[in-house]
Amino acid sequence: MAQPPYQRAGTQRVELACGGGFGRTGTALSCLAVLDGVALAEAVAYVREHYSHRAVETPWQRRFVTRFDQAAHRQP
């Protein structure tokens, strides 16, 4: 079984894309930034600075990143 993209990214090139390349792609990149240790408060801004100013286009996408952060940092 293939490893998830965030695990492969350490040794392989991983590409993310959606139809437009900004909203959903930016959301996924923001989630990866959170996994990489970027603070939630900075994750979307980081992706907008380093990928595209149009990343994470809707309030729902921003909320997804917030919920992803909460799930990623939840203690078992």
What's the 3-state SS for the chain? CCCCHHHHCCCCCCCCCCCCCCHHHHHHHHHHHHHCCCCHHHHHHHHHHHCCCCCCCCHHHHHHHHHHHHHHCCCC
- Domain ranges for the chain, please list them: 19-72
Cα separation, 15 vs 23, in Å, equals 15
Confidence of residue 58 (pLDDT cuts 50, 70, 90): very high
Share of the chain above pLDDT 90, in %: 63
- For residue 65, what pLDDT is reported? 97
- For residue 9, what pLDDT is reported? 75
Confidence of residue 52 (pLDDT cuts 50, 70, 90): very high
Nearest to 51 by CA among 70, 31, 69: 31
Encode pLDDT of 32-43 as tens digits: 999 999 999 999
